[in-house]
Amino acid sequence: METKVDLKNLSLEELEQFLAGKGKQRYRARQIFKWMYQKDATDFEVMTNLAKDLRQELEQTTVISSLSPELTEVSRDGTRKYLFRLADGNTVESVLIPEEDRSTLCVSSQVGCAMGCEFCLTGTFRLTRSLTTAEIVNQICAVMREVPFRNIVFMGMGEPLANLDNVIRALKIITHDDGLQFSTRRVTVSTAGLVPEMERLGREVTVNLAVSLNATTDEVRNRIMPINRRYPLRELIDACRRFPLPGRRKITIEYVMIKGVNDSLEDAKRLVKLLSGIPSKINLIPFNEHEGCSFRSPDQQAVDQVHSFLLAKHFTVITRSSRGADISAACGQLKGKLERSGGV
């Protein structure tokens, strides 16, 4: 029996080609795209502007997949954590972070992660597989049914640039006028530092880039982020310098502060030198302690000292407050909790 094609795995251009290969008019692709992404349709019968014979043919040869949360936790601060079970039984997480004027959805791109960053809970699951395009966009569609939000960040489980084909296809769907219609200014892709993939991302789509830096020397970064042994700081910083930025946009530098590892004033001084000449803003993220990791959260005094120093050097700096602490909101915590209880 021939496997049905999941239309949510196709960009608009690919859907046009798919229909053309069946002898159908290419404009039908835009109609189907709007039904899937702007009306959340999963049933061809509701697509009343399509001819009946086309709807019947699509029903026989294709499918429009969907996800619904298996588990949702809601924090006292409004943060919502979603656990999605995929068709093969694997699970991934998404987190909705509420703000007064611009709630943000954090989505996953892989089941587990191969990067092995020492401070990251997701890395302890190792990589099972990358998500399909449909599995990425369906996280977004599922949350949109419940809560409105304006921003999307690829900062959930997995390294987005290690799943670049599917992530780029998802980004095209997310930002297309006939798709989910998100502004490219409101979509951010985070990376641990895959240099060649950064360059391809910048060539093929326009989105915001966030780089998980977390250290100012190769010695420390080698220890906490093994990817640095392949693409050391100099190569990573050069890639940031080359990344194409539309007018007035900045690269977000994510810096997880770990007590006694990378939270000193000397680290802050080196960070200023590294980022010289790169339009950037800095997110300071105090390490979120979790079971099985020996790292500790930095003292508030250290966080304040680094924050003040970077501000004095004219950087835009945000110290990210911990959100959803009462609901396993850090990446991997909900999945880990269910695994320990035998529920996943």
CATH code, domain with 15: 1.10.150.530
Any idea of the CA torsion for 217, 218, 224, 229, to the nearest 10 degrees?
160
My answer on whether 282 and 317 are in the same domain is: yes
The token pair at 4 is 């049905």
Q: Is 45 marked active-site? A: no
Model pLDDT for residues 36-65, shown as the tens digit of each residue: 999 999 999 999 999 999 999 999 999 999
Catalytic residue among 93, 159, 197, 254: 93
In the prediction, which pLDDT does 325 show?
A: 61
My answer on whether 117 and 180 are in the same domain is: yes
In the prediction, which pLDDT does 47 show?
A: 97
Domain end (from 20, 43, 63): 63
In the prediction, which pLDDT does 344 show?
A: 45
In the prediction, which pLDDT does 291 show?
A: 80
My answer on whether 321 and 274 are in the same domain is: yes
The string over 302-319, giving b where at least 16 C-beta atoms fall within 10 Å of a residue's C-beta and e elsewhere, is bbebbbebbeeeebebeb
Residue 341 CA to residue 337 CA, distance in Å, equals 6
Catalytic residue among 113, 120, 240, 331: 331
In the prediction, which pLDDT does 124 show?
A: 72
- Map tokens 């049933």 to a residue: 43
My answer on whether 80 and 50 are in the same domain is: no
Q: What's the domain range around 274?
A: 69-341
In the prediction, which pLDDT does 263 show?
A: 97
In the prediction, which pLDDT does 190 show?
A: 98
Number of domains in the chain: 2
In the prediction, which pLDDT does 326 show?
A: 61
Non-local (6+) Cβ contacts of 229 within 8 A are: 222
My answer on whether 161 and 45 are in the same domain is: no
Q: Is 13 marked active-site? A: no
Q: What is the pTM of this model?
A: 0.92
Of all helices (H) and strands (E), which one includes residue 270?
helix 265-274
Q: Which parts of the chain register pLDDT below 70?
A: 1, 123, 322-344
Model pLDDT for residues 233-249, shown as the tens digit of each residue: 999 999 999 999 988 89
Residue 103 CA to residue 246 CA, distance in Å, equals 23
